[in-house]
Amino acid sequence: MTKSIFAIVVGLSLSACSNPQPENAAVPDKVSMEQESSIKLAEGVLVSTNDTVCGMSVGNEPNDTVTVDGKLFGFCSTGCKESFLAEHSVK
């Protein structure tokens, strides 16, 4: 009985593996992230040329900004900006 069950399991496994992928199956050629647009600012306008949350360099072209207490902070992404706002209780 055990040999019969084993034979059935092996047979099903082999038949499942031998089925070719359907020709119309969608397979992406490449994976990419959408790039957020950046804002070009004059040098020295931002508090720092690095994102204050993750430390990534934003130079004078951050993807997002926020002004807090008259200071302009630049961020690499909206997610980092939202983290900054939550951390500093700014709405």
Q: Is residue 6 part of a domain?
A: no
Range of the domain at 89: 37-91
Phi, psi of 66 (to 5 degrees): -150, 145
pTM score: 0.57
Per-residue tens of pLDDT for the chain, all 91 residues: 777 776 776 666 666 655 565 666 566 555 554 555 677 888 999 999 999 999 999 999 999 999 999 999 999 999 999 999 999 886 6
Tell me, yes or no, whether 16 lies in a domain: no
Residue 13 belongs to a domain: no
Asked whether residue 5 is assigned to any structural domain, the reply reads: no
Q: Please choose, from the candidates 79, 82, 73, the residue with its C-alpha nearest in 3D space to the C-alpha of residue 41.
A: 73
Q: Are 65 and 75 in contact (CB under 8 A)?
A: yes
Is residue 90 included in any domain, yes or no? Answer: yes
Does 3 reside within a domain? no
Q: Strand, helix or coil at 34?
A: coil
Number of Cβ atoms within 10 Å of the Cβ of 16 = 8
Q: How many domains does the structure of the chain reveal? A: 1
